[in-house]
Amino acid sequence: MMSWQAAAWLLLGGSTVLLFLGLPVAFSFLVINIVGGWLFLGGEAGLAQLTRNCVVSVTSFSLTPIPLFILMGEVLFHTGLAVKVIDGIERLIRQVPGRLAVVAVVAGTIFSAISGSTIATTAMLGSLMVPVMLARGYHPTMATGPIMAIGAVDMLIPPSALTVLLGSLSGISISKLLIGGIVPGLILSVVFIAYIITRVKLSPELAPNSEFEEFSGWEKLRPLFQYVLPLVSIFVIVVGAMIAGWATPTESAAIGAFATIVLAMTYRALSIRNLLLSLKGTVAVSGMILFIIIGATTFAQILSFSGASNGMVEIITGQGLPPMVIIMGMMLLLIFLGIFVDQVSMMLITLPIFMPVVQTLGIDQIWFGVMFLICMQLGLLLPPHGMLLMTMKGVAPPEVTMLHIFRAVTPYVAISIIMLLAVFFWPPVATWLPAWLG
């Protein structure tokens, strides 16, 4: 019988090596699970059990919000309603320093409140706004930085497919976790705007003042009432139904997806082609996530069955370290992992070990979950492999170099680390809203 230390090296080390070799996440875990199932669950019978566990892991009702949240974002993206939201916000924001960058942050915050996908937010704002900003003389770092930063905040503001995934894999209440991210997400948005205005005041050449069409009276407010408020009302309905306890996260997501499609039809923006593109995008992303969940859940079960989970938890909790020091170590490990692997891989590698420790130490799970989300949000922005850096490079004009993108994102990474420290030392930032709403 293999010792738990050898099992831990084989399972955790093997999956990490495969990820570093560039094998897709789902396949990395599939390979390790087959080896682990054969060794620890008992040959052929173990593989049959593994197959049954795979089926059970994705037939969970708690996962149904994921495709629905992704569908909301896809519909907004393909019908062009997101562009109308940007126009509505642009008419309202007066001539402030770095005006277009501020518009991007406000539009991104609203878009993240109605879209479940971080990459969709960044791709859409990047392809629409970066060329306009560059044409008006904005420095590439000022044009790209705010869009990537607000794309990452999308993970904290519900609806968020990654938050649902974190809740379902960790056993933390999904609705409380979704609500827990609202306050830190909104604070980050406000701080980003303050930073942009201050930075442009100090160095006006980063974002030259440009003439823009001034609207007055009803013309100024029309897009707000016509597009922005109806779309924001979807966010209010989705979150409100969860908060009031009238609907589960799944039912709220279904209401949100239905409302988004109805609104798109009302605006006559939904053609058969748009709908098919939206459904295609949803199936592609959801299929990938569900494939990953199959790998993750069975991986955690094999890790537990081999004794590796318990052994590692006992070592961590047996050191006699204060709980806060252990949590700080976990956060540092997550930030380090964020440099190399994507968000889903971070969850899969760490949650089977972290969650039993969190439960053993009696730590507030919502507080821990929100900090985990902020670390994943940081991972999206960390050079060299941050997902949103790659997304931005893909949609930005050729004159925007990778060096511009790395420089652009640095101040927003610093602000996000300060946010993580604020939640760490003052937990009510994350726990106050879920507790107040009961």
In whole angstroms, give the CA distance from residue 410 to residue 312. Answer: 35
Per-residue model confidence (pLDDT) at position 145? 94
Residues 6+ apart with CB under 8 A from 166: 172, 177, 347, 369, 372, 373, 376
In whole angstroms, give the CA distance from residue 273 to residue 187. Answer: 38
Do residues 406 and 141 touch, judged by C-beta distance below 8 A?
no
Pick the most confident of 97-106, 196-205, 229-238, 350-359.
196-205
Please say whether the dihedral angle defined by the alpha carbons of residues 224, 162, 150 and 285, taken in this order, is positive or negative.
negative
SS3 state at 126: helix
CA 307 to chain centroid, in Å, comes to: 32
Neighbour count for residue 71 (Cβ, 10 Å): 27
Mean of pLDDT over the chain: 84
Instruction: Kindly report, residue by residue over 150-161, the tens digit of the pLDDT.
Output: 988 888 888 787
Residue 412 has pLDDT above 90, yes or no: yes
Instruction: Kindly report, residue by residue over 28-61, the tens digit of the pLDDT.
Output: 878 888 888 888 888 888 888 888 877 877 777 7
Angle 236-242-248 from CA coordinates, rounded to 5°: 135
Residue 390 has pLDDT above 70, yes or no: yes
User: Could you tell me the residue range of the domain that residue 316 belongs to?
Assistant: 4-436
Give the chain's domain count.
Answer: 1
Instruction: Kindly report, residue by residue over 259-272, the tens digit of the pLDDT.
Output: 989 999 998 888 99
Instruction: Kindly report, residue by residue over 345-378, the tens digit of the pLDDT.
Output: 788 778 888 998 899 888 999 999 999 999 988 9
In whole angstroms, give the CA distance from residue 321 to residue 172. Answer: 24
Work out the percent of the chain whose per-residue pLDDT is above 70.
Answer: 96
Structural tokens at position 186: 């909104």
Per-residue model confidence (pLDDT) at position 416? 94
Per-residue model confidence (pLDDT) at position 42? 80
